Amino acid sequence: MPPDDYWPAIAEVCARHGVLVVADEVMTGFGRTGAWFGGDHFGLRPDLLVAGKGTASGYWPLGLAVASGAVHDTLREGGFVHGFTYSHHVVGAATGLAVLRVLQREGLVEASARQGERLHAALRRELADVRVVGDVRGRGLLQAVELVADPATREPFERSERVTERVLEACREQGVLVYPGTGCADGRRGDLLLLGPPLVVTDDEVDRIAAGVAQGLRDVLGGVGAGG
């Protein structure tokens, strides 16, 4: 997670040099991080924003690009024309609108923030004695657990050990689906478990997720998984 002043500083430098800021909110948009968009946590107002996945909650393939007024006006003056065979689909638009209504009516963005705090705390509690956990981080219902071979130096596991893949299978045995991430340390090494439960996740389910991840880690790493 970047510090709070990181993205404002980046945006200021870009603006000073005439560089557009493009926010990729495909995974972080529509409440996933406990705000409508990930950039909202930093007060970021990008020139372009792209979104998908949560846009229609997976019920229909739907993505979009949003432009600031200045970018929109520039493209309009240039006569820019772009489209796809399957774009502007009425069912997709209706699905996206229905999802927006549910997000607002059920307060699911706020629920993501609240349950995200619970998940973060539960993961830290359940993984407190798991030596290979280098970090637990995230916002809202987008949390990550980084795994390291040496907690003192944060030296990553060698890729040949396939730690992420093995833990993923062990977590699945516990009834928890985990999104795998590799290469987060140096582009090749670095094991990461990404958790993104649905915004309607309950308190009990949050606790079960954290416990399942902890057990999956212990099942794979055995003696090195626990202890001081």
Same domain, 127 and 208: yes
Judged by average pLDDT, the poorest of 43-57, 64-78, 169-183 is 64-78
Same domain, 115 and 55: no
Query: Where in the sequence is the domain holding 127, given as residue range(s)?
Result: 110-225
3-state secondary structure of 211: helix
Q: What are phi and psi of 8, to 5 degrees?
A: -60, -40
Same domain, 136 and 199: yes
- The total number of residues shown for the chain amounts to 228
Same domain, 115 and 80: no
Same domain, 217 and 158: yes
From 105, 123, 156, the end of a domain falls on 105
Structure tokens, 16: 């000073």
What is the model's pLDDT at position 226? 39
Is residue 228 scored above 70 in pLDDT? Answer: no
In order, the DSSP letters of 208-219 are: HHHHHHHHHHHH
What is the model's pLDDT at position 135? 95
Alpha-helical runs (H) found in 106-174: 108-126, 163-173
Please tell me the total count of domains within the chain: 2
| Among the listed residues 41, 32, 29, the one whose alpha carbon sits nearest the alpha carbon of residue 2 | 41
* Strand arrangement of the beta sheet that strand 64-67 belongs to: 22-24, 48-51, 64-67
For 13, 84, 103, 188, 194, the CA distances from 96, given in Å and listed in that order, are 34, 18, 11, 37, 25
Is residue 64 scored above 80 in pLDDT? Answer: yes
From 77, 105, 133, the end of a domain falls on 105
Same domain, 14 and 67: yes
Query: What CATH number does the domain containing 217 carry?
Result: 3.90.1150.10
From 105, 128, 156, the end of a domain falls on 105
Same domain, 218 and 148: yes
Cβ atoms 164, 171 nearer than 8 A = no
| Confidence band of 67 (pLDDT split at 50, 70, 90) | very high
Query: What CATH number does the domain containing 67 carry?
Result: 3.40.640.10
Distance CA 32, CA 142 (A): 6
| Confidence band of 83 (pLDDT split at 50, 70, 90) | confident
Q: Is residue 22 part of a domain?
A: yes
pTM of this structure: 0.90
Q: Is residue 1 part of a domain?
A: no
Is residue 227 scored above 50 in pLDDT? Answer: no
The rounded mean pLDDT for the chain is: 93
Distance CA 136, CA 218 (A): 16
